[in-house]
């Protein structure tokens, strides 16, 4: 099987150790930034070290720890910002995205592209499928790259855990449904890269994730 050129680099940034992912094509050096956290200077430096030019910033949701470096990235690169269609209000409202309340300045950003469930994006030489996964926030989305068996799960699905639902627009009922009906139905070998913590696989989470266990008990 031919080498696809797919590369993913994890940068752990910020006060709550957010996983920012740099996904790029090894040959073309075109890339995508997912959830740029709060250290744009570091990310720009890392991209230059890798020789990668980002084509887009993909946001899984609008919380402060995933968005604070967006403006710095925009100043350095002319790349579009993508977010779920239900997340626009949160991105623009500091009281909802929690910037300013977590030790920083209030921040409001706007997405250039609001994506919907099932939409496909052609970025950095790969096809990305958008999965709407409400629960952590109403507009949370995950990004699935079928050709690479890779899922970027944001704060929806963690290794043997799931995102909190006690912040604005969160819902426990919705996050359990999103995980069990949208994510755990993916191929079991799919690598899962979450917004915090270590990677996992769909097969592992089918067995050990609390959402899967809860759904099984409920029948």
Q: Per-residue pLDDT tens for 102-152?
A: 756 798 999 999 999 999 999 999 999 999 999 999 999 999 999 999 999
Query: In the chain, pLDDT over 90 holds for what percent of residues?
Result: 91
Specify the pLDDT at position 91: 97
Specify the pLDDT at position 219: 54
pLDDT at 198 over 90: yes
For residues 172-186, average pLDDT: 97
pLDDT at 81 over 80: yes
What is the C-alpha to C-alpha distance for residues 98 and 90, in angstroms, rounded to an integer? 9
pLDDT at 1 over 60: no
For residues 191-211, average pLDDT: 98
For residues 70-74, average pLDDT: 95
What is the C-alpha to C-alpha distance for residues 61 and 143, in angstroms, rounded to an integer? 11
For residues 8-26, average pLDDT: 97
């Amino acid at each position: 099987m031919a080498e696809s050129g797919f590369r993913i680099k994890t940068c752990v940034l910020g006060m709550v150790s957010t996983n920012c992912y740099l996904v790029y094509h090894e040959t073309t050096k075109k890339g995508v930034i997912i959830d740029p956290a709060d250290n744009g200077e570091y990310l720009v430096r890392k991209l230059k070290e890798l020789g990668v030019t980002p084509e887009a910033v993909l946001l899984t949701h609008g919380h402060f720890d995933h968005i604070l470096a967006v403006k710095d990235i925009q100043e350095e690169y002319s790349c579009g910002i993508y977010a779920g269609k239900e997340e626009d209000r949160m991105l623009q409202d500091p009281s909802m995205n929690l910037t300013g309340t977590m030790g920083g300045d209030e921040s409001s950003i706007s997405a250039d592209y609001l994506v919907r469930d099932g939409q496909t994006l052609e970025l950095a030489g790969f096809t990305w499928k958008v999965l709407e996964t409400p629960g952590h926030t109403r507009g949370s989305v995950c990004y699935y790259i079928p050709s690479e068996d890779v899922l970027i799960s944001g704060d929806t699905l963690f290794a043997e855990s799931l995102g909190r639902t006690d912040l604005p627009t969160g819902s426990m009922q919705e996050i359990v449904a999103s995980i069990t009906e949208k994510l755990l139905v993916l191929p079991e070998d799919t690598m899962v890269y979450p917004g915090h913590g270590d990677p996992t696989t769909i097969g592992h989470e089918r067995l050990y994730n609390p959402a899967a266990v809860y759904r099984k008990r409920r029948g």
